[in-house]
Amino acid sequence: MKNGLGLKEVNILTYSPLTLAYIGDDAYDLVIRTFLVNQGNMQVNKINKRANSIVKAETQSKMVRVIEPILSDEERAVYKRGRNAKSASTAKNASVNDYRRATGFEALIGYLYLLGRYERMIELIKISLEDIGEL
């Protein structure tokens, strides 16, 4: 992807955790929507409703609790940077703790995505969704 887009090499660790969460939010959303579309043709509003229930902060917070014990030290550090980041936005439909854990999760997903570690990203998503009964 980097070659196709002509992207320059950047040290991902120099990105703010909120920048990682920004791209991670979309990468995670795309994975979930791709998975749901692959389950078979259905009405778009049904796909969207299901996707929204999976990508919300409360669900991501549950997912983090599942995968945190299996994160590498590097992944855990990225997650914690995201979780502890001071965001200008606030939780709309989630507790502050769920929102912070979700931001950490999205930062981790963004980090893995930008590094091209797609298999690890998908592995963590699948493990956690299976554990909380969403797959």
CA distance 129 to 76: 19
Contacts 24+ apart (CB under 8 A), 59-62: 59/132, 59/134, 60/28, 60/98, 60/101, 60/102, 60/105, 60/106, 61/94, 61/97, 61/98, 61/99, 61/101, 61/102, 61/105, 62/128, 62/132
* Active site residues per annotation: 25
Record the tokens describing residue 105, joined without a space: 């999760």
